[in-house]
Structure 1
């Protein structure tokens, strides 16, 4: 599932995936809510690509690693800014320890 679509799906494992009762969860960049104040995961912006109708952020999330986020419009952040990410629970893809989808 990670290779379908552009940009690719983010994969989260271990403790960060536990709230969804799966060893691994996948979240597409457009299914992450972005905030400067609060959220499920905290991270630092590595790269911010402002593309007019979209902003793509590459965020180094504590305990998870690099995640790609797609925000609509111009989300005004730059390298080194702190942001918070919250996945849309209705759009989480769950995978077992063999990488097979869990229904």
Structure 2
């Protein structure tokens, strides 16, 4: 059985993290920034699973990946609620147009 070397997983995860970082920095609306953050969290999950697969007797990498997935789901829920409130108040999802968060 051929196994994929650990370096390949790390390369894919690094590329995914860089793409997510570039999206988070360059996008001009909150949804794009949120998508970039999700890509970065997924790259962390790839690293955790790859290292867990590298040492099959320990399941800590898979447990950490599950924890990251749960935190990412909670983050998306809270972030979308905040985005909806900001849109309801400012009628825009452009972060540059939202100067202050006072009532």
- Normalising by structure 2, what TM-score? 0.21
TM-score (norm 1): 0.21
- Structure 1 or 2, whichever has the larger Rg, is 2
Using CA pairs under 8 Å that are at least 6 residues apart, name the structure with larger relative contact order, 1 or 2.
Answer: 1
